[in-house]
Amino acid sequence: GGELFQKVSENVLIGVQVVYNRWGPNEDEFKKEFSNISSFGISGSASIIELLPSIRLVTPINKKTQFFSQFGTGYYISKSKAVAFALHNGNLSTSLWDESDNKFGINFGGGIIIDSYGNTKFSIYSMYNLVYTEIESTKYFTINLRVLFGN
């Protein structure tokens, strides 16, 4: 992903994040759900692109290190594609999912920025994401490592 922030005061930055997340299904979780089926399998992937205007509050610790907290709100573009099969009492059944959606959501979290060489910095932070969907909101937690260039 990428981000672009502009300083609006000594400790406040506003900007935008564009982030791509991808993961696969946890087959063990599905097997627990369908424990009465003799054989079960699933493969596929889900991805979410985050387009989030954000505000970042920065607290310097020393000349080279800063803590920050961040809040963002915007659109989450999701796509999931998977195929599942189940074998029960000699009958084989398959299901195919191919869905995409755009939803509003928020994220918040915080981390640390460490100055390195010249205009290069590193940041380590975590974000909690909440995407508002019809039945149950999608919630996920990310841990990020970024290399930053600029002032």
pLDDT of residue 10: 92
In angstroms, the CA 59 to CA 61 distance is 6
pLDDT of residue 89: 76
Q: In which region does residue 71 sit, left (phi positive, over 0), alpha (psi from -120 to 50) or beta (all else)?
A: beta
In angstroms, the CA 113 to CA 91 distance is 56
pLDDT of residue 24: 80
pLDDT of residue 36: 63
Per DSSP, what are the bridge partners of residue 79? 47, 100
Buried b vs exposed e over 57-92: b needs ≥16 C-beta within 10 Å?
ebeeeeeeebebebbbebebebebebebebeeeeee
pLDDT of residue 90: 77
The answer to whether 49 touches 19, Cβ cutoff 8 Å, is: yes
Pick the closest to residue 112 from 98, 95, 94, 124 (CA basis).
124
Per-residue pLDDT of the chain (151 residues; tens, 9 = 90+): 888 899 999 999 999 999 998 888 766 666 666 666 667 777 888 899 999 999 999 999 998 999 999 999 999 999 989 887 777 777 787 888 888 989 999 999 999 999 887 888 899 999 999 999 888 888 999 999 988 877 6
pLDDT of residue 92: 81
